[in-house]
Structure 1
Amino acid sequence: MTFAPTSSAVIAEITALGPFFALHTHAADARPVEPWVPMSRQLIEARVSAVRGWLAAAGEQPIDAIEVRVAASVTHLGLAARLLSPALAAFVLHGRLLTFGLADVHWQPVLGGPIPLSVPGTAMSSGSVPPEELTSFLDRPLGELAAAMRPFSLSPHILQGNIASALNGAATMIGAAVPELAERTRTAVTLLLDSPPLRDSATTTANGAFQRRSCCLIYRAAPGRKGSLCGDCVLNRDADSTKRR
């Protein structure tokens, strides 16, 4: 008889994939104890301000040189990547589903690296789930994260592109760490990208590369708004042009 691994065993396996996948757990009714804090809207908004200051310092610019929506997009992309990566890994490793809302998450909003993340110990399904259930993660907590970004005037197109980019990044890291999972991972990502929340957020180029259909805006944080483009940016198709959106 084959027994399903425990949730703690799956989380240990996920965490071994690297810092973007690492998960801590806490009791479902536990209050965060410093340095852990709740992932509340108020603290997400505070992180946007912190990221804005960090981007300004990195470019040796005054903070007013960094558009708030640029800092918001960078914040959203980073948080989406941290939430998505372990969830995708749990599914492709063992078919398990992580189910939690932002209010359930404890985090340490450090700058300049992967964010320490803790979820309730009860957040993982006890057994494998059908692939289509994976799409529920796009509503909660990612839908709640998108709602937290509303004060910053980020278009749904940018938010969807950020999630698509985060998914592709997570899939690339899983495939590099565990090559035998690469095909299963890409199948799961395709399922998510074909679901209504992310449909038309990304495409495949003529040479088979992933490309999002929006820009995360980070190039605008560089002096003169002339920073490098991300490898999956839609603007790379205009790389010979000076056009920037």
Structure 2
Amino acid sequence: MTPDPELAALSALGGFFVLRTGVPERGPLPTLARAYAHPRSADAPEAHRDPLTFRVRKVAARLDAREVRVAASIAHQGLAARLSSIALGCAVLYGRPPDLGPELLHWDPDAAAPDDLWLSEVRPSPAGTDAEPLDAVLRVAHLVPLVSAVAARHRVPERLLWGNAGSALAGAVRMIERWARAEGRPETARRARTLAAGLFTGPGLSGTLDAGTGRRRSCCLYYRLPGGGLCGDCCFDRPPNRR
């Protein structure tokens, strides 16, 4: 199935899967390639100069995070979830997803899903229906540089960030499975599980989740927020002593 010019089929899966296309309505936005790169000089607004740090500060203010690393982890998981959703959703629904390169994906660090990501051009990609091309589109093109950037700038352990990515990918699979059950499309659910399973055997994602329970082997630190608790797939049974 050839992707339609507006990737409209993704909207059926839910807001986290929606990917806007064309020119952003609110003007130029930085690319994810810019977000992963070193910040530019101070002659531009922070949202364009260093969109990743801008997002971390926004999350910290919204959640009253007293530790930058906590805000950085939550911000990272949110973007990883968006990327996992659109990449897996395209692979499942279209079979051959479009090119989702970081230089084509524009990001508004001041917006939430589904208004945060825009694909400037829907063009063919070498990605197919097996896990290897999806690995190139998602893990290599996005998750690897995103983990590196957040770890370097905000001193968050890479193991924790890969746990975020694994949790985000598993969450995307669950949402596709839920939609597939409602629509009577068991083959779509199987396809999502197969593609994700291939990704979970690769570098970074391998070992992030317990194979039996689906729980992650690291913690996103959400419990360290004021009023925060444990996520459903957390490695902890109760919040650790904050001291």
Q: TM-score range by the shorter chain?
A: 0.7 to 0.9
Partner of 2:164: 162
TM-score, with normalisation over the residues of structure 1? 0.80
Whole-Å Cα distance in 2 between the matches of residues 6 and 24 of structure 1? 17
TM alignment of 1:113-192, pairs within 5 A: 114-125=114-125, 128-136=128-136, 137-149=138-150, 150-179=152-181, 180=186, 181-192=188-199
Would the aligned equivalents of 1:38 and 1:104 in 2 still touch at CA under 8 Å? Answer: no
2:196 is the alignment partner of 1:195: no
Q: CA separation of 1:112/1:12 partners in 2, compared to 1, >3 Å: closer, same or farther?
A: closer
Aligned to 1:229: 230
Q: Percent of counterpart pairs with the same letter?
A: 37
Structure 1 residue 19 and structure 2 residue 15: aligned? yes
Give 2:217's match in structure 1, choosing from 203, 206, 213.
213
SS of aligned partner of 2:141: coil
Separation (CA, whole Å) in 2 of partners of 1:13 and 1:242: 42
Provide closer, same or farther for how the CA distance between residues 111 and 51 of structure 1 changes in structure 2, counting only shifts above 3 A: farther
CA RMSD of aligned residues (A): 2.5
Q: What are the within-5 Å matches in structure 2 for residues 28-107 of structure 1?
A: 34=26, 37-39=29-31, 40-41=34-35, 42-56=50-64, 66-107=66-107
Distance verdict in 2 for CA 1:187–1:95, change over 3 Å:
same
Letter paired with 1:89: G
Match of 2:43 in 1: none
- Residues 31-61 of structure 1: CA deviation (Å, up to 9, x unaligned): x6625521433011111011101111xxxxx
Letter in 1 for 2:17: F
Distance 1:24 1:177, change over 3 A: same
Tell me if structure 2 keeps the 8 A contact 1:23–1:118: yes
User: What TM-score do the two structures reach when normalised by structure 2?
Assistant: 0.80
Q: Using the alignment, how far apart are the partners of 1:140 and 1:183 within structure 2?
A: 25
The structural deviation recorded for 1:126 is: 7.2
| 1:142 Cα deviation after fit | 1.7
1:102 touches 1:144 (CA, 8 Å); kept in 2?
A: no
May I ask how many residue pairs the two structures share in their alignment? 220
Task: List runs of 5+ in structure 1 lacking aligned partners.
Answer: 57-64
Partner SS state of residue 109, structure 2: coil
Runs of 4+ in 1 over 6 A off after TM superposition: none
How big is each residue's C-alpha offset from its partner over 1:173-217, in whole Å with a ceiling of 9 and x where there is no partner? Answer: 111011222222112111111112211111134xxx311111011
Shift of 1:119: 1.3
